[in-house]
A and B are shown apart, each in its own frame.
Chain A
């Protein structure tokens, strides 16, 4: 995607927003200028802290799920026996919308960061597991055979073939689920916490009726989602340059 096109699209959205706000002409839809001013003002009054709390939860759960799901996916992808054993379990658990576990996880794990991290982890874990597993299983036996002929045993195959082969799978999984992860984070932050953008948006919209601040929170959440998406894009270009050559 070209930078200029992205900039133009952002501008177009702002113009549409501005026109809509002028047409509606009510406090529940402030103009982009009002929200921009509120955003800058709120940053100093705690919005930045809420943003960082949400960012930390997403980053922590992303790292945790990569750390646990990638090795598990690699193991399943390498061993047909292990995969035959676990595949039915994954088949059942994978499509369940993990957001329904929010109340259960909160019941068991209570307040604080940890239950929120666990909820996002549940979403990312299965996505990464399945994609890395399929990527490892899809490596052609001929490739494995020829690398073995170079002297590679199990350890070297893992280090030089399976591990690098899993990186595109991890990144694809993140790209597909980072949006869902942020959405579910919003839901999770409505409960049992006083930190995070979900809490902030709800507080300003439904308790304080400070609409410009509420919109500033929505903008911050959008920036969080977009930023993560861009980060995955950037990592993919950095780590998988071979996918971008003609």
Chain B
């Protein structure tokens, strides 16, 4: 699904964030990208989203070179990115309105896109029907992020990118949303890439964990974590041991 080949990227000052960096992710996998601030994990996500052009190297998503945001890729960010003047329902429709505006041109919307404004099923699935007529200013952080998720999933993405999606939420809300995202990932079969600085989140949401360190990142460190869907995983010894070893790896790097 994702192929990064010999990527070199810098911001024009300091060490390059990535140097001859290669990494790939298969369709349907759930990845987390873990690392300290400034390690380049958000940069990698922006490149994957097509919002930042890669410098040197090749970047392919679903076999296509990436030059601009791809209509089948969804992005969830930490501060939700909702329009303050639009209700939950209108916010959830925003992606569809953008697609209807351009039509199925293959650039802004997939070629096989059929016009619709229907988001009711997603509002229901995310438990937002009672809030559908409210504005973002009236919602809790968790409800705002669920609105952003509904807006993205309404576009039926095959790749979902999340940039520190739950960092500003309280612990119970965060855990609820992590569970919800795993369910949705499992139901829809999309490829999931979550960027986080939180070790626990990386261990909960990542079937496979890509660990980045301070620049330059030259080779991917990958940690396998196959049992994230098992009930009670969050309380298991395996989870605790993984968190401990991830912490050690981050500290020694």
Which residues of A are interface residues toward B (Cβ below 8 A)?
A: 140, 142-143, 145-153, 155-156, 159-161, 164-165, 167-168, 240-242, 245-246
Contact = CB atoms under 8 A, between A and B. Distances in A.
Interface string B64-80: 00000101011111111
A147 B81 contact: yes
A245 B138 contact: yes
B155 A150 contact: yes
Contacts of B152: 150
B177 interface: no
A146 B98 contact: no
Nearest to B68: A153
A245 B97 CA distance: 25
Contacts of A143: 81-83
Contacts of B155: 150-151
Given A145-B51, A149-B69, A149-B73, 13 more contacts: A142-B77, A142-B81, A143-B81, A145-B77, A146-B80, A149-B49, A150-B95, A150-B152, A151-B69, A151-B109, A156-B101, A160-B83, A160-B98
Contact of A142 (B79, B94, B97, B151): B79
A60 B75 CA distance: 44
B167 interface: no
B138 A145 contact: no
B135 interface: yes
Given A151-B98, A151-B102, A159-B101, A146 B137 contact: no
Given A143-B81, A156-B102, A156-B108, A148 B69 contact: yes
B102 to A, nearest CB: 7
B113 to A, nearest CB: 10
Nearest to A168: B85
Interface in B180-226: none
Contacts of A242: 84-86, 135, 137
Given A140-B79, A245-B138, A151 B71 contact: yes
Interface of B: 49, 51, 69, 71, 73-86, 94-95, 97-99, 101-102, 107-109, 134-135, 137-138, 148, 151-152, 155
A171 to B, nearest CB: 12
A150 B69 CA distance: 8
B77 A246 contact: no
A207 B69 CA distance: 71
B85 A151 contact: no
A246 B138 contact: yes
Contacts of B77: 142, 145-146
Nearest to B152: A150
Nearest 3 pairs between A and B by C-beta? A146-B81, A149-B75, A150-B95
B84 A149 contact: no
A150 B134 contact: no
B110 to A, nearest CB: 9
A174 to B, nearest CB: 18
Contacts of A165: 85
B209 to A, nearest CB: 24
A164 B98 contact: no
A152 B81 CA distance: 13
Nearest to B151: A150
A241 B95 CA distance: 22
Contacts of A160: 83, 94, 97-98, 101
Given A145-B51, A152-B108, A164 B85 contact: yes
Nearest to B74: A149
Contact of A145 (B81, B84, B98): B81
A167 B108 CA distance: 26
A153 B78 CA distance: 22
A196 B18 CA distance: 70
Contact of A146 (B73, B97, B101, B148): B148
A245 B76 CA distance: 26
B137 A245 contact: yes
Contacts of A167: 85
A167 B79 CA distance: 23
Contacts of A153: 102, 107-108
A240 B134 contact: no
Contacts of A155: 101
A211 B95 CA distance: 63
Contacts of A161: 83
Contacts of B101: 155-156, 159-160
A148 B95 contact: no
Contacts of A146: 75-77, 80-81, 148
